[in-house]
Amino acid sequence: MSNNEQTLRFCSSAIMMRIKTPKNGRVRRELEKRAPKLVETGKKTLILQGTKTSGTLNGVLSEIYHLKKGGAVRFTRKNDNIRPFESGGEASLEFFSLKTDCSLFVYGSHSKKRPNNLVIGRMYDHHVYDLVEVGVENFKSIESFNYDKKMAPRVGSKPFIAFVGEGFENVDELKHLKEVLLDLLRGEVVENINLAGVDRAYVCTAISLNKVYLTHCALRLKKSGTVVPRMELVEVGPSMDLVVRRHRLPNEGLRKEAMRTAKDQPKKKVKNVSSDAIEGTIGKIYIPDQKVGDVALPNKAKGVKRERREAKKKEANERASKKQREESE
Amino acid sequence: MAMETESQKAFHVDVGNLLAFNPFHSFPSLPASRDELVKECLHEGTKLVQAVADSLFNLPSSEDVDGPLVKLPPPTTKLPREKHLPKPKPPTKWEEFAKKKGIQKRKKDKVVWDEQTGTWKRRFGYDRVNDDKDIPIIEAKMTDEPGVDPFAKRQDEKKKRVEKQEKNRLQNLKQAAKIGALPSHVQLAATALPITGTQAPPKKVTKDELGNVAGMAATSTASGGKFDRKLPGEKPAKKQGKHRKFLPVVEGSGIGSREKEQTESVLNKLISKHSHEILNVGKAVTMYNVKKEKKARNKRNQEGKFSSATNKLKPKKLLQKKTGKKGPVSSKKGKAK
């Protein structure tokens, strides 16, 4: 199949269509990365701001970007036409999400009515799925914490996440916020994890019915008697109070569709293995032809020794027989 | 750790996500200072993290270069997907036909034995088996028409086959796109608007034509297109400025007043004070010469009825004709002045 663009004329169909395939291997690989998959890997986050931002909000956005360095995109220009909670104001967001392949976004804006506003949202198929609007209070940035720099968590490590409080179970908005925060802070879903590399934890505590205290800590593993080390949390990164303002849950139909998972299918086909009802699992082994004559013999082959031994024996026998003959003669 | 009561220990632990949730904690009253609040939060957090670590470190681990590697169980909290589930590709028309007829797929070798050269050649590509250009002679059959190039015919047939194949491929992809199962690296793009009835397909406008049209549109504005917003990369029009120049409506009447000059020049042409400037001498001479030659020809034809003298009797009739018009007019005008 050629990879070039093709033009075709159609007699029967009215619209002339053209098949476009990438001429570059790099582009092809990039498209395959963005295609929908059965089992999904980590979501990328888009961090952007609105018409006006405050100093604290700028700090919050840049620190969230640092925390998610590997899988986040940061836009620094102001975007006037993004209003997530209005019906027409999401077009720009969806366009950015499509172009950067991000399905999580954090949008910061500051106004008198909603100071230090953060809208955290998720996308399904590059359309807005759900939104949570929080206000940031009592923000403490990374620089304001004093800690031993050696324990600082490394970029991209998988974090422990802890949610404390009955509010997360009872209050609707906090439940939604919990889900969204989990999605945001989780990182990639991995099968294997190196136990030496766990070094960060996020703690979210529900302080009141609409306030959550979020903090980022480094982990210190202390020796204890058992295999399990004793955990110690040291506050390292940003800490802030999140006040839930508004939220929008997804439509029921959309939610059902997004939560669908494929049943586990046998993903990897192991080659040369087949299973039979009667015989069980059968494997095929292909052996190349043995060229017995061409194989080089090692220096001290046992055969050589044996030959020598046998030669000696033969000689001895011959001598013995000769002697016998001589004697007989 | 073991001293904790049942109600407190029931954290929701999700090892796959390294997540722990304590749904039983609440602040009966907010601590007075911020520090105390932070301490309380960290304390609770530590308990939860310890619970996760308990389950995590007890998982079977394998030794690796950097440290013990542990296989995580799949996460239990369900989160929404970011993209839709990929749909399986629908069978192509050939695949359906093959299934119906029971045709099995045969694995093809990369190299094929070529009888002609006696070597192993590629099945397709550069130096391939059964290439059209390797055929030296095509024998003529009884059914062949004379004057038909068999080599060209073979090439045409191949082209047709290739086109048909591409058409079928496009149809298959369209079918897949209809149900949303287009492969990720393929995009279908519409090239032109649908052709309806006897409409000719729209002609493609060349770059020069577009530039000319843009320039023409620019001159139709009052300022000659000087202040029009230009697209990035657009070059300035070739003939800049207005093509006609209109006089201002109100102007002072001095020596250099343009309207006076304009009308004066027009009138002069009409009145012809300097009529010799108006006469086109060259043209007049030519006309006279032509007439003369015509007369000479007529004379030759009619065998000298007209003597040369009669020609002389009609001198410069043309010149008189030209000035004749102007003569009476000028005299009249002169009197009026």
Residue A31 confidence (pLDDT): 92
Sort out which chain B residues have CB atoms less than 8 A from A165's CB and list them. 22-23, 25-27
Residue B180 confidence (pLDDT): 86
Q: Which of A197, A183, A311, A173 is nearest to A258 (CA)?
A: A183
CB B192 within 8 A of CB A16: yes
Would you place residue B277 in the very low, low, confident or very high pLDDT band (cuts 50, 70, 90)?
low
Q: How many CA atoms lie within 13 A of A107 on its CB side?
A: 28
Residue A113: count other Cβ atoms within 10 Å of its Cβ. 6
3-state helix, strand, coil in chain B (%, to 5): 45, 10, 45
Mean pLDDT in residue range B61-81: 87
Beta bridge partners of A216: A202
For residue A248, pLDDT over 60 is answered with yes
- Render B8-29 in DSSP notation, one character per residue: HH--EEEGGGTEEEETT---SS
- Residue B296: enclosing H or E segment and its boundaries? helix B281-301
Cα B224 off chain centre by: 28
- Residue B150: enclosing H or E segment and its boundaries? helix B150-178
Nearest to A8 among B170, B194, B196 (CB): B170
Instruction: Establish if B31 touches chain A: CB-CB under 8 angstroms.
Output: no
- Residue A236: enclosing H or E segment and its boundaries? strand A230-248
Residue A302 confidence (pLDDT): 62
Please state, in angstroms and rounded to a whole number, the distance separating the CA atoms of residues A108 and A92: 15
Q: How far apart are the first and last CA of chain B?
A: 129
Q: How far apart are the first and last CA of chain A?
A: 92
Would you place residue A206 in the very low, low, confident or very high pLDDT band (cuts 50, 70, 90)?
very high
Q: What count of CB pairs under 8 Å joins A to B? A: 227
- Determine the 3-state secondary structure of A225 from DSSP: coil
Q: Which ipTM was obtained for this model?
A: 0.73
Residue A329 confidence (pLDDT): 65
Min Cα distance A36 → chain B (Å) is 6
Nearest to B18 among A159, A163, A167 (CB): A159
Beta bridge partners of A45: A72, A104
Phi-psi region of B69 (alpha: psi -120 to 50; beta: other; left: phi over 0): beta
Sign of CA dihedral A116, A117, A122, A126: negative
Q: Length of chain A in residues, anyone?
A: 329
Share of chain A above pLDDT 90, in %: 52
Cα dist from B244 to B150, B185, B212, B220, B293, whole Å? 65, 57, 18, 11, 45
pLDDT single digits (tens) A154-163: 888 899 999 9
Min Cα distance B81 → chain A (Å) is 5
Would you place residue B161 in the very low, low, confident or very high pLDDT band (cuts 50, 70, 90)?
very high
Residue B238: count other Cβ atoms within 10 Å of its Cβ. 9
Q: Residue A304: what are its φ and ψ, rounded to 5°? A: -60, -45
Q: Residue A13: what are its φ and ψ, rounded to 5°? A: -80, 150
Cross-chain Cβ contact B81/A40 below 8 Å: yes
Which B residues 33-92 touch A at CB under 8 Å?
34, 37-38, 40-42, 44-46, 48-50, 52-54, 56-58, 61, 64, 66-72, 75, 77-86
Share of chain A above pLDDT 70, in %: 91
CB A243 within 8 A of CB A236: no
Give the lowest-confidence range in A45-49, A97-101, B321-325.
B321-325
Of B245 and B318, which is predicted with more confidence?
A: B245
pLDDT single digits (tens) B185-229: 998 888 776 666 666 666 778 888 877 887 788 888 888 778 878
Residue A271 confidence (pLDDT): 85
Sign of CA dihedral B49, B54, B56, B61: positive
Mean pLDDT in residue range A133-144: 93
CB B21 within 8 A of CB B12: yes
pLDDT single digits (tens) B229-238: 877 777 776 7
Of B118 and A148, which is predicted with more confidence?
A: B118
Give residues with Cβ within 8 angstroms of B22, minimum separation 6: A162, A163, A164, A165, B11, B12, B44, B47, B48
Cα A102 off chain centre by: 13
Q: Where are the beta strands (DSSP E) in A62-169?
A: 72-78, 104-109, 117-124, 127-140, 160-164
Would you place residue B253 in the very low, low, confident or very high pLDDT band (cuts 50, 70, 90)?
low
Residue A164 confidence (pLDDT): 92
Residue A53 confidence (pLDDT): 93
Mean pLDDT in residue range B314-336: 50
The structure tokens 């007529």 sit at B298
Residue B192: closest C-alpha in chain A: A16
Please state, in angstroms and rounded to a whole number, the distance separating the CA atoms of residues B42 and B227: 66
To the question of pTM greater than 0.90 for the whole model, the response is no
Which A residues 93-112 touch B at CB under 8 Å?
103
